[in-house]
Amino acid sequence: MRKKVTPVLRKINVRYETYIKWMKALETNCTVHTGFYPQGYKTYACYCFLFFTDYEESVKSLFSLFPATSFFMELDKQLLVFTNVKSSKVKRKLICLVCDMKTKRMIKGFKHTVVLFHSQNLRGGLFNI
């Protein structure tokens, strides 16, 4: 659920004018990523993984083999991966793959979630988890 912005701004002591100025510059200072979804965007479920690994490039290579676009963000020794899968059979194999990566020590650990909503309106945000 979205909160009204004014109470949040008061709580963190930010002027509304400063917030509006930031919002107007947001599209200029952000990167828009376009992905490839061979079966159509709406047929995929998006999974978000935070991997703890020393093998960022290997993890990125592995997820780059998926048919739909995966997105990566490096955070120190952690790697944030958004990947898209279509069927429940593939979803199960995805979780098995991640567990195998841990067993083989390709990753030290991970956290994951499912992205429930993607907004195609940049003013509404790129995603809500």
Helix (H/G/I), strand (E/B), else coil: 3: coil
57-106 pLDDT, tens digit per residue, is: 999 999 999 999 999 999 888 999 999 999 888 999 999 999 999 999 99
According to CATH, the topology of domain 41-118 is Alpha-Beta Plaits (3.30.70)
Instruction: Convert the pLDDT of each residue in 8-66 to its tens digit.
Output: 899 999 999 999 998 888 888 887 778 899 998 888 999 999 999 999 999 999 999 99
pLDDT band, residue 2 (cuts 50/70/90): low
The residue among 70, 80, 72 whose CA lies nearest residue 36 is: 70
Domains of the chain, by residue range, sit at 5-30, 41-118
Q: Is the pTM of this model over 0.85?
A: no
